[in-house]
Amino acid sequence: MENLLQPKKVKIIKLQEMSANVKLFRLAPVGWKFPADRDGLIFTPGQFFLVGRWGVGEAPFGGASSPFEKGSIEIGVRKAGNVTAALHQLARGDEMTIRGPYGNGYPLDFFKGKDVVMVTGGCGIPPIATLIEYIIARRELFGRVYLLYGALTPDDLLFEERYKHWEKHIKVILTVDKPTPDWKGHIGLVSELTREIKIDPVNTATAMCGPGPMAAALENILRPLGIADRRIFVSEERKMSCGIGKCQHCTTGDKYVCTDGPVFYYDQVQSNWD
């Protein structure tokens, strides 16, 4: 039987600075392969991996690349603590450890045949980015698709190099709190972007990932559109250690984020934001 806690080796094959404190790591297996499921996915958008270094520790990250890619995976690492600071010191060619994928991702079968609204902010975009890649690869299975994404400044908007590709298939709507002189997009809250979308609320699914305050604000963003709570799926963030529901580090109410989530129905976690 496979040991679910056994880390495996991966090597950094590409590094990219996406903002002042966020780097994108592309990781390739060393001496093994990412297994694919019957749908050809190596992970479900919304699932997470525990990535780290021996002697330093691990931290959870959602996949940020297409889940159909077999030879590598991308994760976005925001420098925010001891583990992520150590990862930011690494260079291309260095080795790391990975475990997973763990948890439950976005319900892809439920999304099929529906309009899809994805809402995210700041560094919460990696799980949404991989969901976008999945939808684009299966575009004929979905209705109207929107990305509503906000950040503090234009420099804090991540995955900028993908926007042109995404915009060929979905509607991308961006906003910032503090614009630069050359910013030509929206200014203000993500909630204000809903004015630009057109959906059928009874046939719409919503995916969200972002900081606690944004998640708590979903009531003001999505409920006015008539979208029911059981059509709103939220990726929760908690400190995780084991990833398999044993250590109790990631409890939220009566749920474990690692095993019951990290993707939940909105009404399961709406009172348990960080």
Residue ranges for the known binding site for [2Fe-2S] cluster are 242, 247, 250, 258
Please give the annotated binding residues, written as ranges.
Answer: 242, 247, 250, 258
Is the peptide bond preceding residue 262 cis, with omega within 30 degrees of 0? yes
Pairing of strands 186-187, 171-176: parallel
Give the up-direction half-sphere exposure of residue 193: CA atoms within 13 A in the CB hemisphere.
Answer: 25
Sheet bearing 145-151, strands edge to edge: 186-187, 171-176, 145-151, 115-121, 204-209, 232-235, 263-265
DSSP state, 66?
Answer: -
Residue 176: count of CB within 10 angstroms of its CB:
20
Instruction: Decide the pairing of beta strands 73-78 and 22-29.
Output: antiparallel
CA 145 from chain center: how many Å?
17
